[in-house]
Amino acid sequence: MHKFITLFLGLTAIGMFGHGLYKGRGHHRHRHFGHSHGVSGLSADYYAYTSHLRTWSPSFKALFSLLCLVMCIAMNNIYVSVMVILAMGYLTVVIGGLEFDSYLSMLAIPAAFLLFGSAAVAVGFSLKPAGQYHFHVLNLFYIYCSRACLLKAGNLILKAFGAVSCLYMLTLTTPLSEIISVLRKAHVPSLLIELMNMIYRYIFIMLDTHSRMKNSAQARLGYVDFKTSCYSFGQVAGNLLIVSLKRGNDYYNALEARCYDGCLRFLEEEKPVKSEQIAGAAAFVLLLCGIRLLTG
């Protein structure tokens, strides 16, 4: 049965990849019109506003991604984790229209933490030879690893990637204003929502400020050698906080000029949930349950 599930997942991956190539062939020539948007391109909102899944109901996407995340963690099954990774990537890249390179670059951020964190699970230390694989270090101790530890580390990595891909599917296809609307409907305290929104926005204010200051230093040959680079880095770091606070104060004054009363309100667009979306989500949940039952 495990071989059958492995074959099924392989064929599913090939089918999704083939559909992505076929679909991308017709849309590739229509991409990249216009110029680069600078730091805004680093924002998840940049991808969310251009995603084809933006027309889906944000409440449905939030509920579906949360349900898949919980199932991926609770079932603790390698095959379920792989299926979740494939499905979330397919929705984000193929259906949503996100560039595959951009998606991989974003997955690379948690990948580094996962690899180093899983190394502690896969590798052990001992004064005597242990495990199927061991290495003697300086005739003092052994670094060992076993198949069970490798399997456990692999399961941990795939489960974490499955959870991350669920959150990426939500954040890369849903603008922040719609996520805030979902949180309001879930009766999350307004103070937490306001802090989340302002902190998120302020991060990109600081990124934009740093980008401008770094470009200015580069135009004046501030990074021509190591000594000059260290001096320029110190100058940029020292001025970043002051300039960012000034820009943050300007943004707050702009909010007050528009009658800000401590509550941010966004224009919400009605996006009803379609029957085929509910049917697809239900079929996928049943598929995960079936994979879990068949693989034990």
Q: What is the pLDDT along the chain (296 residues), one digit of tens a residue?
A: 667 777 767 777 787 777 666 665 555 444 443 334 443 344 677 888 888 888 899 999 999 999 999 999 998 888 899 999 999 988 998 888 888 888 888 888 888 788 877 777 777 777 776 666 666 667 777 777 777 777 888 888 889 889 999 999 999 998 888 888 888 888 888 888 888 887 877 777 787 788 888 888 888 888 888 888 888 888 888 888 788 788 778 878 888 888 877 777 777 778 888 899 999 999 999 998 988 888 86
Q: The tokens of 33 are what?
A: 């019109």
Q: The tokens of 56 are what?
A: 């889906």
Amino acid, single-letter form, for residue 128: K
Residue 141 main-chain phi, psi, to 5 deg = -150, 170
DSSP track, 172-188: TTS-HHHHHHHHHHTT-
Residue 50 CB burial class (10 angstroms; 0-12, 13-18, ≥19) = middle
Question: pTM to 2 decimals?
Answer: 0.76
